[in-house]
Structure 1
Amino acid sequence: MTFTFNIYAILLILFGSVTIALAFFIYRKGGNAVRWFSLMMFSNAIWSIAYGFELASADISQIKILLDIEYIGIATVPLNWFLFCLHFSGKECWYKKPLNIVSLLFIPVVTVLMVWTNSYHHLHYASAKMATGTPFPMIDLTPGIWYQIFTIYFYLIMACGCFLLAIKFRKSDPIFRKQNYSLIVAAAIPWIANIAYLLGIRPLGYVDVTPFAFVITSFLILLGIYKFKLFDIIPLAREKVLELMQDGFFVLDKDYRIIDYNQSIKRYINYTPNLKLIGSSLEQLLPDQPNFLEMLNRHAPGKIELDVPVDGEILSLEADIIFLDDNKINNDFIIIKLQDLTAYKKEAIRSKEQSNELERLNQLKDRIFSIIAHDLRGPLVNLSEVLKMIANNQISNDEFRNISPTLSKDIIYTTDLLENILHWSRSQLKGYGVNKEVFNIRNLIINEINYHLPAAELKKIKIIHDVFPGEMAYADILMIQIVVRNLLNNAIKFCNPGNEIHITANYQKNKTMLVCIEDNGMGIKKEVLGRLFKDENITTRGTLNEKGTGLGLIVCRDFMIRNDGNITVTSVEGKGAKFCLILPVGELN
């Protein structure tokens, strides 16, 4: 091939080469939208360089070969432009459908084949000959029918891409405005140049000014990259990222009105389809937040926690306030990020509850071990030693009769202690159930009185009950039996000989039953009274020096709570004590 270079050819080849380098540079910036734009520039470069060599050629056969190369770029320019616009506007899923991609590729592929085989059918160019009256050799082409079809396709697909950009830019933030303008101006120049060439407005004669227009476009894009940071931040990134984020975002103006938001924000406010967020005031959407508004008024960036009622539930939100003038962008805008901390707070509360439960169980374990080590071991050791002495004939029958009352007390104490430890320990285990049923409270009380009669008669204590037949309670009968047993045992323990114990049971107006066990014994000291039911191991010797386990009242309180009841105590030291149980009631079927 032979070439005679002129100024037009040199400029096209030179700037086409620059466009290739620029396309490669932009491609490396990453992102699908950016890469489709760089492919469009590469198509422009093929068109420009091949057209430059065409203008430097004088042989028509050589020019036709270069035309074949040119159309690789010409046919793919509108395609790459449209794909770039799809990605830039977030519509890239459209072309991924097989039918759509075939329809996009059909015209470009057929056009290239038409140009390459034009000498057989002349559908693209009706005729091709060397022009006369031009300053340098050029080809004079007469368009054919397929040329007209391709021209319509070219402008239609370019117009569709520009329409997508226009919609995108209309919704974009002001921060992207300079980027948008530079891209729109750059895209418009080749349009104007090509339309003028087709309309016969040809300042350079037969020379097509469209490739030169693309050279200007390349320089505008280059200017946008360095001055406006084009493609460093694009509106697509904002929309894609913010709409997918779980955190909610508000953009406010200086009057605290909403000018932008993402979809996640709707979960953090009382949103309804009729509510127009744009233009609404922040106080309208997040009412009753004085501390939050005070931070805004003080122009104080930072984080603050908000409790916001949404659909009947209180959400714990963390609001992060960002004033854009801190970044020297614009002092009229405020960004509010709302993060939902409700789940984290619930988890923190649950973890704290588990920690408290674990600590409580550890204390329970320590208390049980302490009781077993001190209170349970002593009586068993004493009993073991006495049995050894009897086996070794070291003690007479009279001596055994003298110590047997003490041993009997120790055995009764040990039995009560083991019973309380067993029931209390089981009740503290997770999953231990309460088997509620309707039962006759009078029968239960009479059975417990009969159980404690020997101990009461030993101290000459009278037990009087005033419970009518047929009075029913609804609770776990075993638990209530243990509660009554402990309270009756304590009453006997702290009564002096000749005292009385009164047991009553009456229905209350609030559909509960009040069961009271009252004695006129030694009573409870004022400083001890306030410590009862406080998970403290309080033990006090009885009137005849009887020992206590320190677990009885703790068991009573736990069992009453588990049965949706309560236990109270009143006492005057020296005049006795009165324990009352509040129980749910039931009726026989």
Structure 2
Amino acid sequence: MTCHIATNSIIHFLTVLAALATIFLLWRFRKSSEVKYLIYLEFFVAIWACTYALEFSYPDLETKILWSKMSYFGIAFLAVFYFLFTTAFSRKKNIINKKTIALLLIIPVITIALVLTNEKHLLIWQEVKLDPEKNMAHYSHGIGFWFFWVYSTTLLILGLYNLLSSNSNFSAYYKNQASTLLVASLFPVTGNLMYLTNVNPYPGFDWTPVSFVLTGIIVALGIFRFRMFDIVPLARTKLFEIINDGVVIINNEGFIEDCNSPAYSIFNWQDKSIIHEHYGKIFKQYEKLTSALSDNLASIQLEVSHENKRNLYHVKVSPFYRNKKLSGNILLFHDITSIVEAEEMLINTNKKLLEEIEKREKLIEDLDSFAHTVAHDLRNSLSSIFSASEIMEELIKQNDKNLLSELSILINQSAKKSIQITHELLLLATTNKTEVEIYPLDMARIFNESKGQLTDLIKSSNVVFTEPAKWPLASGYAPWIEEVWSNYLSNAIKYGGVPPKIEVGADVLINGKVKFWIKDNGKGLTNQQQNLLFKNFVRLDTKKADGYGLGLSIVKKIIEKLGGSVGVESTGNGDGSKFFFILPASQQKSYTIGMLNPKTELIAN
């Protein structure tokens, strides 16, 4: 078995060198998926061309058949990787996955197995004849070969379709790339048809591996002419493999070259083709982003909304260069929604805290001023009680009942005054923190209970009452509402006319609430006086009324705690004053308000 280097062998060995040179040129762009498949393609072409050259180098038929079998380790995979290359170039990457590639390789693997065992079934070559004069083997193909040829031709046609669709769908910037690949792809198809149809200037010589190398050379030249695959691998190496944020790559012409999965999710691009589209078209609804790109801004904050869900992103625009020339920009989208929401929450919390601090400081000031008065009055009351008790010891010994009775009344009044001060302070301090059950109110009973607390004051003042025949039903907490009425009644009597004429009533409002009111016949309140009401430790007329100015502030706290509001209506022209409080209308249910979670239950009407 002697090896002779013939002209045919030289051609194919040169083809091997050209294929390896093409691989060398493409190697630095191997991070790009389309270039990766093109490198595989040229590698299998090199195997085919090398084994074909060795087939021509041996004169005996047996060795030629051996190298022809070896050539299928290259031939069998060419169409598959050509299809993968064109599919990746046309950005149909959703098609390419491990399962698809495995399915595509089934027939090539079966074909190789049939080639290696052809003598047993003759499915690939039914007959092989040697032409000694041309040192060339002529193959009569079997059904297995034609089945593999149809499969390979189908993949080649699908690859051409990928390029044609890319040529029609891509922007003008990419049409030259697609056209170059389309022309280059016609060479292998033409070479294979020349071999099979024998329309060949050199009959029996298969030009297919040579034409595949020409395709690779044209693509390699296209890389430098049109900078095909220039941006994507560089950017992917820089960011794509190490980041979870959204990344969009834009070339220096303004067209989108690539983007990662998070970017598709951010902008809801799952059903949209954005590769090779201009950023102005894709981001037209995000004027802030397009302006940032056109004005070369380094970063912006972008709001993206989908289905009533708002997300905020910090967008960083990073230009990158090749050979000191601008190649494009990388857009990095980092989700800062949680950070911004936390900042907003912190700002609101700080605002509430400052307001609370301001309230506390005001309360401290009020308490300081009030403490002096309360301490003085409490001391006087307690001193009176203490002094009276000492005197009572002597009077008991002397059996002076008249003076004992006067001292008893003094002690009683002083004790009541102390109890009133303590009661008002406790209500003021505990209203906000107390948990109470809300239920429908029997307002007629509550109002009568409040009058009962003021029996002596009512009798001594000769009060004339006008009350409604029926009270509307509202929800609240009876002990607190009783306290509210007591405060309003006490003020109406103290600040009313002589004798006091007091009218009480209630109106059902259209917003599902009930307004309860009490009107006196006093001189009324000016606007300035009305503004001072419902604040701690405020008394408008210290001569007409005792107390410490806590009553109306307690009323306000109670009603607001129960979900209502308070107010006063008065002209200040001697027409009296009308104080009111508003409560939610009754829903025939009870529930709990306070520091714990609410509970709801049905109650008897």
TM-score, normalization by structure 1: 0.70
Quote how far apart the aligned CAs of 1:91 are: 4.4
The equivalent residue for 2:93 is 90
1:558-573 counterparts in 2 under 5 A?
559=559, 562-563=562-563, 567-570=567-570, 572=572
The equivalent residue for 1:539 is 538
The equivalent residue for 1:480 is 481
| Counterparts in 2 of 1:90 and 1:169: CA distance versus 1, 3 Å | farther
In structure 2, give the amino acid aligned to 1:53: L
Quote how far apart the aligned CAs of 1:141 are: 3.1
The equivalent residue for 1:417 is 425
| Counterparts in 2 of 1:68 and 1:305: CA distance versus 1, 3 Å | closer
The equivalent residue for 1:36 is 37
**Distance in 2 between residues matched to 1:84 and 1:433, nearest whole Å:** 75
**Distance in 2 between residues matched to 1:561 and 1:386, nearest whole Å:** 33
Contact preservation (8 Å) 2:562, 2:583: no
Contact preservation (8 Å) 1:75, 1:112: yes
| Counterparts in 2 of 1:247 and 1:146: CA distance versus 1, 3 Å | closer
| Counterparts in 2 of 1:245 and 1:497: CA distance versus 1, 3 Å | closer
Quote how far apart the aligned CAs of 1:62 are: 3.7
Q: Is the aligned partner of 1:526 residue 2:546?
A: no
Quote how far apart the aligned CAs of 1:75 are: 0.9
In structure 1, give the amino acid aligned to 2:264: L
Quote how far apart the aligned CAs of 1:76 are: 1.1
| Counterparts in 2 of 1:8 and 1:163: CA distance versus 1, 3 Å | same
Contact preservation (8 Å) 1:505, 1:515: yes
The equivalent residue for 2:116 is 116
Report the secondary structure of 1:516's partner residue.
Answer: strand
Contact preservation (8 Å) 1:518, 1:576: yes
| Counterparts in 2 of 1:128 and 1:354: CA distance versus 1, 3 Å | same
In structure 1, give the amino acid aligned to 2:66: I
| Counterparts in 2 of 1:78 and 1:304: CA distance versus 1, 3 Å | closer
**Distance in 1 between residues matched to 2:139 and 2:133, nearest whole Å:** 15
**Distance in 2 between residues matched to 1:174 and 1:505, nearest whole Å:** 82
1:50-65 counterparts in 2 under 5 A?
50-65=51-66
**Distance in 2 between residues matched to 1:375 and 1:553, nearest whole Å:** 14
The equivalent residue for 1:187 is 185
**Distance in 2 between residues matched to 1:259 and 1:147, nearest whole Å:** 51
Contact preservation (8 Å) 2:497, 2:521: no
In structure 2, give the amino acid aligned to 1:461: S
Contact preservation (8 Å) 2:530, 2:568: no
| Counterparts in 2 of 1:153 and 1:170: CA distance versus 1, 3 Å | same
**Distance in 2 between residues matched to 1:64 and 1:314, nearest whole Å:** 67
| Counterparts in 2 of 1:470 and 1:445: CA distance versus 1, 3 Å | same
| Counterparts in 2 of 1:177 and 1:240: CA distance versus 1, 3 Å | farther
| Counterparts in 2 of 1:8 and 1:413: CA distance versus 1, 3 Å | same
Q: Which runs of 5+ in 2 are unaligned?
A: 233-254, 318-324, 393-403, 589-604
**Distance in 2 between residues matched to 1:347 and 1:433, nearest whole Å:** 33
**Distance in 2 between residues matched to 1:140 and 1:377, nearest whole Å:** 122
Report the secondary structure of 1:472's partner residue.
Answer: coil
Quote how far apart the aligned CAs of 1:483 are: 2.7
Pairs aligned (count): 528
The equivalent residue for 1:556 is 556
**Distance in 1 between residues matched to 2:382 and 2:418, nearest whole Å:** 14
The equivalent residue for 1:217 is 215
The equivalent residue for 1:465 is 465
Measured against aligned partners, the alpha-carbon deviations of 1:257-307 in whole angstroms (never above 9, x if no partner) come to: x99669xxxxxxxxxxxxxxxxxxx9xxx9xx9xx89x99xx999989999
**Distance in 2 between residues matched to 1:22 and 1:6, nearest whole Å:** 24
1:368-517 counterparts in 2 under 5 A?
375=370, 379=374, 383=378, 396-397=391-392, 405-406=413-414, 408-426=416-434, 435-437=438-440, 439-455=441-457, 460-478=460-478, 479-492=480-493, 495=495, 498=498, 500=500, 502-507=502-507, 510=510, 514-517=515-518
1:99-498 counterparts in 2 under 5 A?
101=102, 104-134=104-134, 137-167=135-165, 170-232=168-230, 238=258, 241=261, 244-247=264-267, 354-362=349-357, 375=370, 379=374, 383=378, 396-397=391-392, 405-406=413-414, 408-426=416-434, 435-437=438-440, 439-455=441-457, 460-478=460-478, 479-492=480-493, 495=495, 498=498
Quote how far apart the aligned CAs of 1:350 are: 6.3
In structure 1, give the amino acid aligned to 2:131: A
Tell me the C-alpha RMSD between the 2 structures.
5.2
Q: Which runs of 5+ in 1 are unaligned?
A: 253-257, 263-281, 330-336, 427-431
- Of all paired residues, the percent bearing the same amino acid is 19
| Counterparts in 2 of 1:416 and 1:90: CA distance versus 1, 3 Å | same
**Distance in 2 between residues matched to 1:10 and 1:551, nearest whole Å:** 113
**Distance in 2 between residues matched to 1:32 and 1:38, nearest whole Å:** 10
**Distance in 2 between residues matched to 1:142 and 1:585, nearest whole Å:** 99
Measured against aligned partners, the alpha-carbon deviations of 1:465-491 in whole angstroms (never above 9, x if no partner) come to: 211333233121434333323333444
Quote how far apart the aligned CAs of 1:106 are: 3.9
Measured against aligned partners, the alpha-carbon deviations of 1:520-572 in whole angstroms (never above 9, x if no partner) come to: 55754533423546xx6462363257343557336426625844565333252
Quote how far apart the aligned CAs of 1:213 are: 0.8
Contact preservation (8 Å) 2:464, 2:499: no
Contact preservation (8 Å) 2:476, 2:583: no
**Distance in 1 between residues matched to 2:411 and 2:574, nearest whole Å:** 31
Contact preservation (8 Å) 2:29, 2:229: no
Contact preservation (8 Å) 1:504, 1:517: yes
Contact preservation (8 Å) 2:526, 2:572: yes
